[in-house]
Structure 1
Amino acid sequence: MSASDRRVARGAPTQMPTSLISVKDWRPAGIEDLEPDAWAALRDTGNVAVVAGPGAGKTEFLAQRASYLLQTGLCPWPQHILAISFKRDAAANLGRRVAARAPEHASRFASMTFDAFTKGLVDRFALALPQDWRMSHGYDIRNAPKSEVDAFLNSVAFSAPQALDGKLGFQSGRFVSDIVGGWNLPESLPADDDIDPVSYAVREWWRARYLRPGRAEVDFVMLNRLAELLVRAVPKLRRALRMTYPIVFVDEFQDTTSAQFSFLTSVFGEETAVTTVGDSKQRIMGWAGAVPEAVQRFTSTFNASTYRLAWNFRSSDALVGLQHVIASKLDPAAVRATSKANAEAGHEPAMLWTFSGEEREARYIADWIARDIAGSDRTPADFALIARQKVKDFEPLFRARLAAHGIRVRNDDARVGKLALQDLLKSETSRLFVGLLRLAHRPRGLAALWQEMSATLERVRGATDHETVQQRVSDDLSDLTTRLRAWLQAHPPSITSAADTVGKVLDLVDSAALRRYVRASAPGEEFDLVIDAFEARLETVLERADDWGVVLDEFESADAVVLLTTHRSKGLEYHTVFFLGIHGRQWWSLGNDPREGTSTFFVGLSRAAQRLVFTSDRSGRTGPISAFFAMLTEAGVAEVNQG
């Protein structure tokens, strides 16, 4: 195996740092200090499980731990730290923080998603797969819908060997995540006379989608299983990965699936220091295959030390108290966090508002937000409207009522093309396009944006470690924005189509290089889908503006009240949160899995920094939903009838 193969995450060589900081002299950068357990976890060079609740600053902790290990030489040059996140925006955020705190070492910090890492291994080393599992015509990524899984399971149950008759009663909703994801691929396909119900069903699944004539069809669970087989079957590759990445971070560990845990254990279970950060109280991905008690399973399997972060940097003390009431229902041993946020005076931190109808609710909340903005320095972006599901049902009324006050609403769950708006706005491709258009429209006063766009283009061109190429990228960015500025001036929004605008940007940025970069850095993000969604979003805002600056403001809607589901709110925070629809219609499935439902409730309410308002109607409060109202009563949340 060549040296280039061993650099599985970085193509270009890095430069050896000129100086290191002694362990005793190292101090955090960008923050005042760390809490005691954070210091202990940071200095622990073994396997570490960090339990971090809402607002604990887990991303900042990981950034500081990376800086500590890199700057002190505990992760020696030329070795890397691999940080695995579950969402692309979380991976990008962590990477940016490390770059800001340890710029000299940032090229040795690889931050990516689980899916990106496993797909990258399969793409690079697929020819080393055992003979029975080699692809002949490449693959396409496609998630099978439930109807297709149902049809498959019915088919295999009908055609199974007589010895397996009546033993293939798998649930379609969990078949891929739990059954396919929990099966380690053998190096050779099992024969019919040496097979059990699970092995038979999974083998037939692979035969139907992967081991078939023509192009294979896979999802990310299957790519994970192929990557695990690859490193198990090729010891040299496993050794190379461990040499390249002696230190691994895994964020949001409570959402780890069976396949991901298996992969982590197989690849990094030995000779690697693994740090996980998570909170079992925020486990809301059970429906997607998240394993129960993932943190405890990790500490047992990896013989890891556990550290619990006790500070909350987001929420006021009163809201931390409310959070603890719900947390204690999920974990009776939960310790109340210590708020490090300054509490604002002059308002109730938590309330329950009841309304006679949806129209009354939207009008009252819109008027209330407008008055609050007028009487403070807050902006619409400080407010969030969160609901368990079906946020589209809330959008029309709130959009109309807030528009009457000149306030926009951004529905992050809305579909734009084939993407959710939140995913489009967080896409690096989308951010690049908007950034270039902003720089072209306004040539001065955007130094930070210029640096961000320059850094993105450096990554696209593979220039992060070459000073000469970096200078060329900077020169090209200047030329690009000058040419784009001339085009925008000649093409006002009122007479320009979104397709022409997107086409012009693609012509200027070297779309082939950008496509290759997206394929390598963001597996699962289909370039063409992002471009189509970007064009669709741009088309809608072009109709409402006659200035390119206004167009871009409308496109991003950064200064808007955000409407989103609890799942999409995870990891975010807002000054004031309205948790809409605390009633049986929104929480109809609560009785099916009360623990995950309570975790979802906990995630939603813990987004608030200063104020939290629950809303409900006057429907019955019996059945599973009664538990939520009992918790609010226990926490001392006052109920107010708003008509």
Structure 2
Amino acid sequence: MGISIKEWKPSDGIILEPAALDAVKDLNNSLVVAGPGAGKTELLAQKACFLLKTNSCVNPRRILAISFKRDAAVNLKDRIKLRVPKNLESRFISQTFDSFAKGILDRFLYALPEEFRPDQNYEIAGNQNEFVRAFSKCGANLYNNKIKKQYIDNLTKTRLENVSGVYKDVWDKLLKGDGDIKPTLSFQMISVLAIYILETNPLILTSLRKTYSHVFLDEFQDTTRVQYALVNVCFHDSETSITAVGDTRQRIMLWAGAKPDIFNSYINDFNSKEYMLVMNHRSAPRLLEIQKIVNSYLQDVPFSPIANPKWTEEEGVAEIWYFKDSNTEAEHIAESITQLIQQQQISYRDICIIVKQSVQQFSEEIIGVLEKVNIQARNEAKFQDLLKEDIVLLILNTLRSALEVRDSDAWSFIWEAKFFFEGKSSTVNPFIIDELRKQLKIMLRIIKRRLKKITHKDELKILLIDIVDFYDVNKIRRHYPQYLQGQYINKLREDLTDSLYQYYISKTDWISAIDSFQGNDSIPIMTIHKSKGLEFDVVFFFFFFFFFFFFFFFFFYRI
């Protein structure tokens, strides 16, 4: 039994602005429009807490949160752990659009007719080479980027059963493979296949709708046409309640196919009520004033966020620095970062260097200068996605638990994971609990002994394979559907092996290697796109084409 709706209050003493509180308690379809720092993640976490604790999401039904980016999905999942009681946490599922669609395809692959069924070992398109080769074999020469984009976009603009001509031939080659062309799918193609499965198999669609009584759509402004079509098939005219959260000012994915009229379409299709959040919890008042000025140049729509009352009017610093050359620039930045770390005790991970475009192209000089003053910085793009993977987190926490028996966070992570995989999350049977604890402790002792003897990368590779086998790869795949297909889980494990061993070679200590791999002792350098939705105390922003450096010193309240 849950508490009554009237009794419920936001968890952990969080105070929500009136519109946010109304949106949390709305049990029907809704749209929450909120700018940067408005607390969108917090709102969804509180809404999950409200639905679960008041039994508005009736057991055993679940809440499904779908985000555009993996970072957002992981951040929301982490926030849920802080707000939702542990006995209810397992009923909240956080995924990206891509993993949601891929889970449907991989789980119900054989619900597709043979002509539309991809090879079970299909690969995810990392680039467009396979597409170009497939079109070439079918008589279409994609000789420039404009033509290439047009033809590849057209692959998913038509319902699957209506695809014809050269596009049907290309679909066939990409689904099954053909000589030098590997079976390869883009995530857009995967979404189209998932839509076909749900439209032609009413029992699967009904099961999906009965599983999830509530759905959260995060970063909604970036939703593509195909992704919105998938949402429509899944939940339109159903009893499932949807809460969409986004902001038109943060629409940065139009170039990648984001649906330009997504908010209006959703309001009309799902008869949703709109809520507008006006408070900014992240930025200090002086920074908000700068944001208002910038917005007035970029948009005609007024932008008037209200600062969190905890700030004083003068808090927040923003400065522009000009330099005669890039070396002087890098040295000055290194000196400033040194002061921030040593004098103001700001941690490495609360400082970020943002570049406009290619990190690789512009990061080498600043990384080299920082190394001279014993400060590590790295291209975060190489690690950001890998560090969000469930299988990677499972392995890293297992290694930490073996090496540091007092690391309660790592132990809690693998303890809960083991219970989860074994289907024993709700057990109170002391014999089952003791047996699982015994299995874990024996495994951790073995791992610790083997780590001490590792002298070659292949030995680490075998150890990580054994760790996955301990948890049972089939159970992992059952609970994390993004790993159902092909060799993806093996590729992630191999990428982890390569990176972790390189850090071990330089650190000669496994805990230090894990810390460095996770970036605990380095300053992240990333693009604007990759930094979206993340929070830092200090941000250095490079404008390369004008050879000046824009420095933001952020004080903000993390909610």
Report the TM range for the smaller structure's normalisation: 0.7 to 0.9
The CA deviation at 1:435 is: 2.1
Q: What is the distance in 2 between the residues matched to 1:66 and 1:208?
A: 43
2:448 counterpart (485, 488, 493): 485
Q: Please tell me whether residue 264 in structure 1 is matched to residue 223 in structure 2.
A: no
The aligned amino acid for 1:116 is: S
Q: Which residue of 2 aligns with 1:230?
A: 197
Q: Which residue of 2 aligns with 1:336?
A: 304
Q: What is the distance in 2 between the residues matched to 1:170 and 1:378?
A: 46
Calculate the aligned-residue CA RMSD, in Å.
3.1
The CA deviation at 1:26 is: 0.5
Q: Please tell me whether residue 39 in structure 1 is matched to residue 21 in structure 2.
A: yes
What secondary structure does 1:571 align onto?
coil
The aligned amino acid for 1:323 is: Q
Tell me if structure 2 keeps the 8 A contact 1:257–1:289.
yes
Question: How high is the TM-score relative to the length of structure 1?
Answer: 0.77
2:70 counterpart (83, 88, 107): 88
* Cα gap change, 1:530 to 1:519, in 2 (>3 Å): farther
Q: Which residue of 2 aligns with 1:171?
A: 147
1:109 counterpart (89, 92, 96): 92
Q: What is the distance in 1 between the residues matched to 2:547 and 2:156?
A: 33
What secondary structure does 1:409 align onto?
strand
The aligned amino acid for 1:108 is: R
Q: What is the distance in 2 between the residues matched to 1:474 and 1:328?
A: 59
Q: What is the distance in 1 between the residues matched to 2:263 and 2:456?
A: 51
Q: Please tell me whether residue 313 in structure 1 is matched to residue 277 in structure 2.
A: no
Aligned pairs for 1:456-535 within 5 A? 456-468=417-429, 471-488=434-451, 490-491=452-453, 496-510=455-469, 513-514=472-473, 517-518=476-477, 521=480, 523=482, 526-535=488-497
**CA offsets, 1:220-259, max 9 Å, x none?**
2112111111111122222222222232111111111111
Q: What is the distance in 2 between the residues matched to 1:41 and 1:280?
A: 18
Percent sequence identity over aligned pairs:
31
Q: Which residue of 2 aligns with 1:4?
A: none
Structure 1 portions without partners, runs of 5+: 1-18, 160-168, 191-198, 414-419, 587-603, 612-643
Q: Which residue of 1 aligns with 2:220?
A: 253
2:524 counterpart (552, 559, 562): 562
The aligned amino acid for 1:610 is: F
**CA offsets, 1:516-546, max 9 Å, x none?**
5257615279222222222221232222223
1:239 counterpart (185, 202, 206): 206
Q: What is the distance in 1 between the residues matched to 2:20 and 2:109?
A: 40
Q: What is the distance in 2 between the residues matched to 1:153 and 1:216?
A: 14
Q: What is the distance in 2 between the residues matched to 1:550 and 1:579?
A: 29
1:63 counterpart (45, 66, 78): 45
What secondary structure does 2:33 align onto?
strand
The aligned amino acid for 2:147 is: Q
Q: Which residue of 2 aligns with 1:289?
A: 257
The aligned amino acid for 2:284 is: S
The CA deviation at 1:572 is: 0.7
**CA offsets, 1:413-443, max 9 Å, x none?**
2xxxxxx211222222222333222222222
Q: Which residue of 2 aligns with 1:127?
A: 110
2:243 counterpart (266, 275, 278): 275
* Cα gap change, 1:409 to 1:211, in 2 (>3 Å): closer
1:405 counterpart (362, 366, 373): 373
The aligned amino acid for 2:120 is: G
Q: Please tell me whether residue 118 in structure 1 is matched to residue 101 in structure 2.
A: yes
Tell me if structure 2 keeps the 8 A contact 1:51–1:277.
yes
**CA offsets, 1:99-129, max 9 Å, x none?**
4423332232222222222222222223333
Q: Please tell me whether residue 183 in structure 1 is matched to residue 158 in structure 2.
A: yes
What secondary structure does 2:184 align onto?
strand
The CA deviation at 1:304 is: 1.4
1:429 counterpart (378, 391, 401): 391
Tell me if structure 1 keeps the 8 A contact 2:70–2:385.
no
2:320 counterpart (329, 332, 352): 352
Q: What is the distance in 2 between the residues matched to 1:179 and 1:527?
A: 30
Q: What is the distance in 1 between the residues matched to 2:140 and 2:467?
A: 56
What secondary structure does 1:25 align onto?
coil
The aligned amino acid for 2:168 is: R
Q: What is the distance in 2 between the residues matched to 1:287 and 1:124?
A: 31
Tell me if structure 1 keeps the 8 A contact 2:395–2:467.
no
Q: What is the distance in 2 between the residues matched to 1:555 and 1:289?
A: 33
* Cα gap change, 1:31 to 1:297, in 2 (>3 Å): farther
Deviates most, 338-347 or 322-331: 338-347
* Cα gap change, 1:259 to 1:369, in 2 (>3 Å): same
Structure 2 portions without partners, runs of 5+: none
**CA offsets, 1:549-608, max 9 Å, x none?**
33333322313221111111111111110111252699xxxxxxxxxxxxxxxxx99x96
Deviates most, 322-331 or 40-49: 322-331
The CA deviation at 1:387 is: 0.5
Q: What is the distance in 1 between the residues matched to 2:268 and 2:120?
A: 38
Q: Which residue of 2 aligns with 1:640?
A: none
Aligned pairs for 1:591-630 within 5 A? 609-610=554-555
The CA deviation at 1:323 is: 2.0
1:380 counterpart (348, 359, 374): 348
Q: What is the distance in 1 between the residues matched to 2:165 and 2:126?
A: 19
Q: Which residue of 2 aligns with 1:210?
A: 175
Q: What is the distance in 2 between the residues matched to 1:66 and 1:91?
A: 14
Q: What is the distance in 1 between the residues matched to 2:366 and 2:202?
A: 57
